[in-house]
Amino acid sequence: MREYKMNLKNKKVLVTGADGFIGSHLTEELIRQGHDVRAFVLYNSFNSWGWLDHSEPTIKKNMEIFAGDIRDPHGVKQAMKGCDVVFHLAALIGIPYSYHSPDTYIDTNVKGTLNIVQAARELGVSKVLHTSTSEVYGTARFVPITEEHPLQGQSPYSASKIGADQIALSFYLSFNTPVSIVRPFNTYGPRQSARAVIPTVITQIATGKKNIKLGALHPTRDFNYVKDTVEGFIAVAKADKTIGEVINIGSNYEISIGETVKLIAELMNAKINLKTDAKRIRPQNSEVERLWAENAKAKILAKWEPAYGQWEGFRKGLKETIEWFINPDNLKQYKPGEYNI
């Protein structure tokens, strides 16, 4: 592995997908740490910066906004000019929507990543952190899942991310483009889309619903609190020996969806009934039955480990998440009675 050291203090940083769930938290934390950040948000006619619209004034005044589309190579290259480090998070991530419109996932996730690494190569960017997902592993063949686990595209979303990961790695192998692959497991926390199980349960309970509509309850997941995920990204960016590497960011703790729902209800002092909603069930062979991260590589190469790991850490993260969601100003951003693919 090639030696590499990065001091972000003296670098211009670009975050793509800065308007989204993880991207907004990452952008804010980088600014809090004193870094020079350009936030790439999806252009829209409402001039919305997504979740960054809700950032504190002290954060906003230190934020440079670039509105564009990751699918456009010219805009991507323009956004990357003058940047030393690129955190590439922009992607379509909804699994149900990938069944509906798979072509858009290829355009955004695969072509978008190609645009990033091509521009990085041409501009001589110092480091690109490409965001993968634990979904690329599919149902675990062994646990905990190391970075050597086979890749299984069990949904069009997963397949598109496998393609994006391989495009990014191919530029490292072919052109020595300095790329690291950050592979977060199931990140949760404030601002997460209600398509995901934890926000959908919290928002339904918070609005007084007793019959909670869900999909499959038996699959297991390795939930990673968003603060841990953000610290993982930053640690990989700063670390030696991470270029050309795939690095899991996970808590190394496995829990079923059903047990997670029970824990949320307990923390919210709610008595609930679980109702299976057919719309939320994945096709049988597409369901990822088990995910459990091995995070030893992140500890060794990036000196990162979760602050919210294991049972107590998960409870703590859920408490913080619940506290955010039940705030009326935050809850009104959601539509708990509607299922949006």
Give me the domains of the chain, ranges plus CATH numbers.
8-331 (3.40.50.720)
Tokens describing residue 292: 């459990």
Q: What percent of the chain has pLDDT over 70?
A: 99
Average pLDDT, the chain: 95
Res 1: pLDDT: 41
> Could you read off the pLDDT of 147-175 as tens digits, one per residue?
999 999 999 999 999 999 999 999 999 99
User: How far apart are alpha carbons 323 and 314 in whole angstroms?
Assistant: 14
Res 271: pLDDT: 95
What residues act catalytically?
Answer: 157
**What b-and-e string marks burial along 45-78, b requiring 16 or more CB atoms within 10 Å of the CB?**
eeeebbbbebbeeebbebbebbbbbbbeeebbbe
Q: Is the pLDDT of residue 267 over 60?
A: yes
User: How far apart are alpha carbons 232 and 248 in whole angstroms?
Assistant: 9
Res 254: pLDDT: 98
Q: Is the pLDDT of residue 305 over 90?
A: yes
User: How far apart are alpha carbons 106 and 113 in whole angstroms?
Assistant: 10
What number of CA atoms fall less than 13 Å from residue 121's CA on the CB side?
18
Mean pLDDT of 246-269: 97
Helix (H) or strand (E) segment spanning residue 213: strand 211-214
User: How far apart are alpha carbons 312 and 267 in whole angstroms?
Assistant: 13
Mean pLDDT of 114-143: 98
Mean pLDDT of 51-64: 97
Q: How would DSSP label each residue in 156-202?
A: HHHHHHHHHHHHHHHHHHHH---EEEEEE-SEESTT--TTSHHHHHH
Whether the predicted model's global pTM rises above the 0.85 cut:
yes
* Residue 38, Cβ density class (10 Å: 0-12 exposed, 13-18 middle, ≥19 buried): buried
Q: Is the pLDDT of residue 2 over 60?
A: no
CB atoms within 10 A of CB 312: 10
Res 53: pLDDT: 98
Mean pLDDT of 188-196: 95
> Could you read off the pLDDT of 128-138 as tens digits, one per residue?
999 999 999 99
Res 6: pLDDT: 74
User: How far apart are alpha carbons 52 and 15 in whole angstroms?
Assistant: 12
Res 5: pLDDT: 61
CB of 188 within 8 A of CB of 255?
A: no
